[in-house]
Structure 1
Amino acid sequence: MKNITFRQLRVFVEVARHLSFVRAAEALHLTPPAVTMQVKELESALSLALFDRQGRKVSLTTAGEYYLVYAKRLLATLKDADDAMARLRKLETGLLSVGLVSTAKYFVPRLLARFRQEHPGVEVRLQVSANREQLVTLMTHGEVDLAIMGRPPRELDARAEPFAAHPHVFVAPPGHPLLRAGHAPAAALAQYPLLVRESASGTRALMDRFLAEHRVEPRIAMEMPSNETIKQAVMAGMGLSFLSLHTLGLELKAGEIELLAVEGTPVMRMWNVVHLSSRVLSPAAEAFRYFILEEGEAYLAAHDRPWLGAPPGT
Structure 2
Amino acid sequence: MAFTSDSVQVFLAVLDHGSFSAAARSLRRVPSAVSMAMANLEAELQLTLFDRGGREPVPTAAARALEPQARQLAAQLRQLDAHALALTQGLEERLAIAIAPELLSAPWSAPLAQLAAEYPLLQVEVLVAPQADALALLHAGRVQLSLVFERPSLDGRESFQEVGNETLVAVMAPTHPALVAAGPGGTLREEHLTNTRQIIVAGRDTGSSDPRVIFARHIWRTDNPVAALGLLEAGLGWGWLPRSFVRSQLAGGTLVEIPLLGLTNSMALYVDVVWSLERPMGLGARRFVELMQQAREARHAGR
CA distance in 1, matches of 2:298, 2:246: 18
- 1:228 equivalent in structure 2: 226
Runs (4+) of structure 1 moved beyond 6 Å?
Answer: none
Deviations 1:111-154 (A, max 9, x none): 4554356436143211222x333223222222212111124474
Q: CA RMSD in A?
A: 3.5
CA distance in 2, matches of 1:179, 1:259: 15
* Paired AA for residue 237 in structure 2: G
Query: Aligned with 1:143: secondary structure?
Result: coil
1:298 deviates by 6.5
- 1:279 equivalent in structure 2: 279
Give 1 or 2: higher helix fraction.
1
CA distance in 2, matches of 1:240, 1:118: 42
Query: Aligned with 1:238: secondary structure?
Result: coil
Indicate the structure (1 or 2) with the bigger Cα radius of gyration. Answer: 2
- 1:21 equivalent in structure 2: none
- 2:80 equivalent in structure 1: none
Structure 1: 5+ residue stretches without partners: 1-82, 212-217, 302-311
Query: Aligned with 2:235: secondary structure?
Result: coil
Asked if 2 retains the 8 angstrom alpha-carbon contact of 1:165 and 1:297, the reply is: no
Deviations 1:186-207 (A, max 9, x none): 3332453322334756754221
Query: Normalization by structure 2: what TM-score?
Result: 0.57
Query: Aligned with 2:281: secondary structure?
Result: coil
CA distance in 1, matches of 2:184, 2:217: 20
1:268 deviates by 1.8
Change in Cα spacing, 1:101 to 1:202, as seen in structure 2 (3 Å) is farther
- What is the correspondence of 1:204-215 to structure 2 with a 5 Å cutoff? 204-208=210-214, 211=215
CA distance in 1, matches of 2:245, 2:208: 14
Count of residue pairs the alignment pairs up: 210
Query: Normalization by structure 1: what TM-score?
Result: 0.55
1:156 deviates by 4.6
* Paired AA for residue 190 in structure 2: A
1:159 deviates by 0.8
- What is the correspondence of 1:16-55 to structure 2 with a 5 Å cutoff? none
Asked if 2 retains the 8 angstrom alpha-carbon contact of 1:98 and 1:147, the reply is: yes
- 2:49 equivalent in structure 1: none
- 2:131 equivalent in structure 1: 132
CA distance in 2, matches of 1:172, 1:97: 35
1:224 deviates by 2.6
Structure 2: 5+ residue stretches without partners: 1-82
